[in-house]
Structures are given as structure tokens and as C-alpha cells.
Amino acid sequence: MNTRTLVKNLAALPDGPVTVSGWVETVRDQKKVQFVILRDESGAVQLVNPATRELPEPIEGGEADAAASARLATTESISALAHGTFLTVSGELKHDERVKLGGLEVKIGSLEVVAEANPETPIAADSSLDKRMDWRFLDLRHPKQHLIFRIQTTFEHALRQYWVDNDFIEIHTPKLMASASESRAELFEVDYFEGKAYLAQSPQFFKQMAQPAGFGKVFEIGPAFRADPSFTSRHATEFTSIDAEMSWVDSHEDVMRMHEELLVAAFTAVKEKHGAEILDLFGIELEVPTTPFPRIPLAEAKQIVADRGYVIPRDDADIDPEGERQISAYVKETYGHDFVFLTDWDISLRPFYHMRHPEDSALTNSYDLIYNGVEISTGAQREHRIDVLVEQAKEKGLDPEELEFYLDFFRYGVPPHGGFGMGLARVLMLMLEEHSIRETTYLFRGPTRLLP
């Protein structure tokens, strides 16, 4: 096996022999010289080949020079290269500041076509989003798409680092459930041997189970499923959920404090590692949010939105997407902040396990976190008193007998606790100012998409 050098590591090497591998991005086939832009997972480099278009005349009836034959074969191979073909090239690395791409190039010595690509590429830069999703493995070759998932890796690693540093335990909860954890209307039902099972909408019940188990503080990054037939830019039927839960909270304020510290740690890591690339490829100067994030009770937020001239067209207590955009605009203008916690939600809008507000039983100790005009997370203090929990479940029209396995958690002592769930793709979409979570999801799943 040849010793392959990643493109990003070429600049640190002296001039001399080198081997690189990657796919063909462009070919400039000129009369006397050929240029190939070769891209690997770390970057792109220019390859150069002095073109040999024909063999010299044999000397005194002898065969043509073997080296000249090899150069002609290389020239012909380069002329035939299709976009996307995978190559391994050995040659001479030369640093030259006149080369626009990285200030270096590789003079081709030998070229091996590892895997040919079809000459007709099925997508282009102006292809529709759906078309690009059909050919996602090709779409992901683009440097912007590639960067998204390196950012995702850094972001998730920083989340875990914060949690581990603060004594959280990572858990992996099951994704097959016997009953609903939230709205039954959003459940995917699957055959399960002689019965039925449901794909988990969230790890809510199971991360709460860790509290009476004595784990104290837990987190999970894993898949979640919602049978929601929405076709918006921010919904998916399968998504990656970021969840945390912790014991001994006094209110949802403790959860919000942990949540904002977590995000500051993650944004700091992304900016330090990828800030320059984000500016180059996305044109965004990534900002690390300051703490504390602004906090506005929902009723007050709705009044602020109304005062700005937008009336939420609903009779209930909820806030719609335009309302979220309006309150974010207000927070940006007033506090210079991209994040805002909307707190104290009406009980009609929250699940049965959210704790009621001690001073107003019509409200809950809960919040939504809005980032750049879009909700990315819901968090709350949970109700830990079994008698109250049973009554709140009944109020929501749930049958306590179907929740027995969950309610049992609270019959043997559980500390006051709270946590949140947050959508990974939404955060990345808003961070990079993309228009759809399809861009920030490796392989998107929606009501009409199960492929690739």
C-alpha cells in the first residue's frame, strides 16, 4: 500500500516525492500542459503534467523511448478523466507561491485510475434541493457540505466534553417503546412479534428513569422519530436529538443555566476550530453567545410581538413561527443576542409531566429556546410527586394504567429534576444560516423520503 499524504498536510512537507489520492474536481487539458484539481477529504491540490501528444520518431529503427511512451499514456489518461474519478498520483511536490491553490502543486510522475466515474454528472451547482438529496453522496463532496459534518463532529464532541467535565453520565436509551412518551398522534407504530411497538419520539421517560436510579445527571445524543407529516424546512420524521436530565433542580432556571453553558462551550469549540473556514465558505462570522441568555415569559413575549405590529393568529396560548421570528428580532435589537428563552408556558401547551408553576397553576416551569428566530429546544422542571403526576396525566386524557411502567419510577423516591431535548440539525442549520435541515442532516428522512 502506497503511503498516502492528505492534501492538508502537503504544505508542511519539503519539495520532493509524494503520493496523493482523491477525486477529480476539474481538468484543464491544454496543448502543452495539463492541470488537474484533485480533492480529498481534507482539501484540494493542483496536479500538473507537461503534455506529451505523440511519440518521438524511433532512433535508427529502434523502438520509441519507454519514458516517452509512459508520458504519452499519462497524457491520454488525463484527457479522458471524468469529473469524480478517483485517482492515486505519485509525483514531485513543489512549493510555488504563483500557484493560486495553496501555493503548491504536484508534478505527475505516475497516475492510477482507482475508480472511473460516469462522464455525465447527475447534479450541478444549480440543481434543486430534492435533486441533490437524490444524489446525496455526490452532493456531500462539495466543500461546504463536507465542512458541515466536521462542524457537527466538533459540536457534539464539545457537548460531551462539557457534560463529562460536569459529572454527567452518558446513556443509550431504547428506541422501541411499549407506549407513547408524548403525543400518540406522532407515533410510528411497528409490528413487534405478536404485538405492537412504537418508535421513540424522545428518550424522555428513560432519562427520567435515571433520576430514581441515582445517576444524578445524564445525557444522550441519539435518534428520535416523529410521525409528523410536516413539509417545513425544520421538520423531519427521523432526527438526532440532544438530551440532558439532572437531579436536584430548584426550578427550570437551573436547567436553563446548564443549557446556556453547554451551548457556549460548543460554539466556542466550533469557532476556534472552524471559524476561518465558516467565514470563507459560508460568509459568516460565527459569534459565541454570552451568558446569561435573555429570558422572557411567553405572555410578555406575545405582547412584545403584538406591540411590534404582528398579532399571532391563534386563539390558544401558543406562539407561531412568525412570532418566534419577531421576538428574536426584538431580542437582537434590544440585547444584541441571538438566543432567547421563552419561559412559563401554559399547561395546555405542555405534556403532563411538566411541573406546574408554584404561583400560577395554569403555567409550567418550562421554556423553549429560540435561536435566530427558530425554536431549537424545549426544557422544563419535571413533576416528581406521584399523586400530582397521576392527576396531570388524567387531565391530558391519558390512561394511568398505560403509563404504569413510567409512574412506577416515582413510587420509590425520586429527586426534583429537569432537563431538555434539542434538535441537532436545527442548531447547525441556524448556525450556518442554511435554509433547511436537509442541508445539515447526513441523510434526511421526511414524509416522502426514505432514499437514499
Q: Residue ranges for the binding site?
A: 182, 226, 375, 378, 382, 423-426
429 class by beta-carbon count within 10 Å (0-12 exposed, 13-18 middle, 19+ buried): buried
Angle at 382 between CA 381 and CA 388, to 5 degrees: 130
Burial of 328 (0-12, 13-18, 19+ CB in 10 A): buried
**Taking the CA of residue 402 as centre, how many other CA atoms within 13 Å lie in the half-sphere pointing to its CB?**
12
Pairing relationship of beta strands 366-371 and 339-343 according to DSSP bridges = antiparallel
- Whether the ω angle into residue 56 lies within 30 degrees of 0, i.e. cis, is no
Which has the closest alpha carbon to 142: 41, 45, 18?
41
**From the annotation, which residues make up the binding site for ATP?**
375, 423-426
Residue 173 near residue 203, CB atoms below 8 Å: yes
The torsion angle over the Cα atoms of residues 327, 426, 279 and 156, rounded to 10 degrees, is 120
Amino acid at 69: S
Q: Which residues pair with 444 in a beta bridge?
A: none
| Cell of residue 286, nine digits | 460565527
Q: List binding-site positions for L-aspartate.
A: 182, 226, 378, 382
Find out whether 271 and 259 touch, Cβ atoms under 8 Å: no
Cell of 338: 441571538
Q: State the sign of the Cα–Cα–Cα–Cα dihedral 371, 373, 375, 381.
A: positive
User: Cα-flanking dihedrals φ and ψ of residue 293, to 5°?
Assistant: -70, 150
- How crowded is residue 155: how many other Cβ atoms within 10 Å of its Cβ? 23
- Decide if 398 contacts 372 (C-beta within 8 A): no
Cβ pair 15, 94 in contact under 8 A: yes
CA 206/CA 87 separation, integer angstroms: 48
- Count of residues for the chain? 452
375 closest CA partner among 311, 428, 415, 426: 426
Cα–Cα distance measured from residue 141 to residue 39, given in angstroms and rounded to the nearest whole number = 9
Measured in Å, how far apart are the chain's first and last C-alpha atoms? 32
